[in-house]
């Protein structure tokens, strides 16, 4: 019974569905580009079957070739999600066309029947031989044309392009006016493309565009022209052809995919983010209900926003503040509520001395979702504190501290710094204490903790904290100066003089150092 079921289902099951399901399973496990290369042979079987059909589906062909193009030109593993989308869309379409019963058979059989990596060369050669016998034994032009068409597809699978060309041309020459002749010309162009004979492929695709009166195949051929240019590495030309196709034929079944491809190529392969954003914005405007738009919004936009954000912060580290601001502005057009982008804008404005705009962006970054991003919290507090909004900084900092979601030492340090400005000394001590508990090597926290203890006249603790800071960095002049002040006001003039002298020798222009060095000298009855 089981044997019969398996045997029977080999005729019912769509091996394209089996291969697509297998490819999607492998994609879920893929960790490296090499993992992706392993699914290519299985996708090639599906695409060759699709090409061999007498009725061409532009959507299926575009989805398959999009997946293969990404695999061959991978820029980041984030693109795996784009491959999944292409294959899942095609699989859904295949299952819908086959109906509930055959889809159920496919699902069951896919667990039993292995995916096909390649057709048997012996079997293909045998089929070719049978077709040649049929060709030679009939005078019926319609039959003969169909046999030559099938023969060309077999030779394409065998990657014998010379024999494929001969067979397809025979099919065309029998009667160039038929649909089979037109499809033979298309398949010949595709066969050339598949073995990287791109110029010959372009000649035939362009002939179809110019000569064919059929509704879809000229448009599918234009899509193929763009794909061929992409495979040639002519990315800009490919994007332009895709965009032109979508603009001129907006009701074409894959006009939305064509516009998406224009944006995708501009982003990943031309590094032209402005053009990419323009194409994708137009896609959302023209095809708001398309599945590709949903994918673009949930997958590609976040990737783009992340890349812009990374570039913006890199420019900030290089002190290229104006350039960083422009990058963050562009990024905000892609993702207007991204807290890291808003915070980056705030930092850019701050370093450009545009304090009001810096504060506005910093506050927006805290209110954006998610608002528990540690880097955003740290940088937003920095902007607010250094813009003089200490109360706002404290309120925001305390709200975040109560949620207990911020673990980084820098956050508690910044909050402590705000407390210092508002003379909330005990709160400052607590914040600095949390800072050094998280990071015992945070020398600035020890220095400011010393200042907090000094403010409440706990001089011995202040001295201890300044010494801890110096132990971590003997060249930390602020801690040496503060330690000198502590010694001076506790009448330890020898030690005060030593600290002031160290600072003055290292930096004669350090604020107030010459005045305090003079005071210590006089206190010790030294001659100036």
Which of 63-67, 219-223, 332-336 has the weakest average pLDDT?
Answer: 332-336
Q: Could you report the per-residue pLDDT of 458-500, keeping only the tens digit for each?
A: 989 999 999 999 999 999 999 999 999 999 999 999 999 999 9
Quote the pLDDT of residue 243: 96
Which of 42-51, 332-341, 414-423 has the weakest average pLDDT?
Answer: 42-51
In this prediction, residues 90-116 reach a mean pLDDT of 55
DSSP 251-291: TSTTHHHHHHHHHHHHHHTS--HHHHHHHHHHHHHH-TT-H
Quote the pLDDT of residue 498: 94
pTM: 0.70
Q: Could you report the per-residue pLDDT of 280-319, keeping only the tens digit for each?
A: 999 999 999 999 999 998 888 888 888 889 999 999 999 9
- Angle between helix axes 235-248 and 217-232 (nearest 10 degrees) is 160
Cβ neighbors of 56 (< 8 A, separation 6 or more) are 183, 186, 216, 217, 220
Residue 59's pLDDT band, with cuts at 50, 70 and 90, is confident
Q: What is the rounded average pLDDT for all residues in the chain?
A: 87
Quote the pLDDT of residue 273: 83
- Give kind and range of the element (H or E) at residue 297: none
Q: Is the pLDDT of residue 67 over 80?
A: yes
Q: Is there a contact between 67 and 79 (Cβ–Cβ < 8 Å)?
A: no
Q: Is the pLDDT of residue 503 over 60?
A: yes
Quote the pLDDT of residue 104: 43
How far apart are the C-alpha atoms of 520 and 507, rounded to whole Å?
Answer: 17
Q: Could you report the per-residue pLDDT of 465-476, keeping only the tens digit for each?
A: 999 999 999 999
Q: Is the pLDDT of residue 403 over 60?
A: yes
């Amino acid at each position: 019974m089981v044997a019969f079921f398996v045997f029977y289902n080999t005729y019912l099951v769509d091996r394209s569905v089996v291969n697509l399901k297998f490819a999607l399973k492998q994609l879920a496990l893929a960790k490296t580009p090499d993992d992706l290369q392993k699914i290519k042979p299985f996708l090639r079987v599906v695409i060759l079957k699709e090409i061999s059909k007498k009725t061409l589906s532009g959507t299926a062909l575009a989805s398959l070739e999009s997946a293969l193009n990404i695999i061959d030109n991978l820029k980041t593993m984030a693109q795996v999600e784009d491959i999944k989308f292409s294959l899942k869309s095609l699989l859904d379409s295949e299952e819908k066309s086959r109906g509930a019963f055959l889809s159920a058979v496919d699902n069951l059989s896919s667990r039993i029947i292995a995916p096909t990596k390649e057709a048997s060369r012996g079997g293909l050669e045998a089929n070719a031989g049978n077709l040649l016998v049929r060709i030679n034994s009939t005078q019926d032009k319609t039959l003969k044309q169909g046999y030559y068409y099938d023969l060309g597809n077999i030779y394409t699978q065998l990657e014998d392009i010379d024999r494929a060309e001969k067979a397809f041309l025979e099919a065309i020459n029998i009667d160039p006016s038929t649909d089979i002749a037109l499809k033979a010309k298309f398949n010949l162009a595709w066969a050339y493309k598949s073995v990287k004979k791109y110029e010959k492929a372009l000649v035939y695709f362009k002939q179809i565009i110019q000569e064919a009166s059929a509704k879809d195949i000229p448009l599918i051929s234009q899509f193929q022209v763009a794909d061929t240019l992409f495979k040639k590495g002519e990315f800009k030309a490919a994007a332009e052809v895709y965009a032109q196709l979508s603009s001129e034929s907006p009701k074409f079944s894959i006009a939305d995919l064509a516009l998406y491809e224009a944006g995708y190529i501009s982003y990943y392969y031309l590094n032209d983010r402005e053009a990419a954003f323009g194409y994708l914005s137009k896609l959302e405007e023209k095809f708001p209900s398309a599945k590709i738009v949903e994918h673009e919004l949930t997958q590609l936009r976040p990737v783009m926003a992340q890349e812009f954000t990374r570039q913006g912060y890199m420019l900030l580290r290089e002190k290229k503040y104006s350039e960083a601001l422009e990058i963050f502005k562009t990024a905000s057009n892609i993702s207007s509520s991204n807290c890291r982008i808003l915070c980056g804008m705030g930092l850019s404005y701050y370093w450009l001395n545009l304090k009001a705009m810096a504060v506005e962006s910093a506050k927006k970054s805290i209110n954006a979702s998610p608002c528990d991003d540690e880097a955003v919290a740290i940088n937003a507090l920095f902007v607010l504190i250094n813009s003089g909004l200490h109360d706002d900084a404290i309120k925001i900092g305390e709200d975040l501290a109560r949620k207990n979601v911020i673990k980084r030492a820098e956050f508690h340090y910044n909050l402590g710094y705000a407390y210092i400005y508002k003379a909330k000394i005990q709160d400052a001590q607590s914040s600095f204490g949390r800072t050094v508990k998280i990071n015992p090597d945070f020398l600035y926290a020890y220095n400011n903790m010393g200042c907090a203890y000094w403010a409440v006249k706990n001089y011995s603790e202040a001295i201890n904290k300044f010494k801890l800071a110096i132990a971590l960095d003997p060249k930390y002049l602020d801690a040496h100066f503060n330690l000198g002040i502590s010694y001076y006001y506790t009448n330890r003039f020898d030690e005060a003089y030593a600290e002031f002298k160290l600072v003055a020798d290292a930096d004669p222009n350090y604020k107030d150092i010459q005045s305090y060095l003079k005071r210590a000298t006089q206190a010790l009855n030294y001659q100036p």
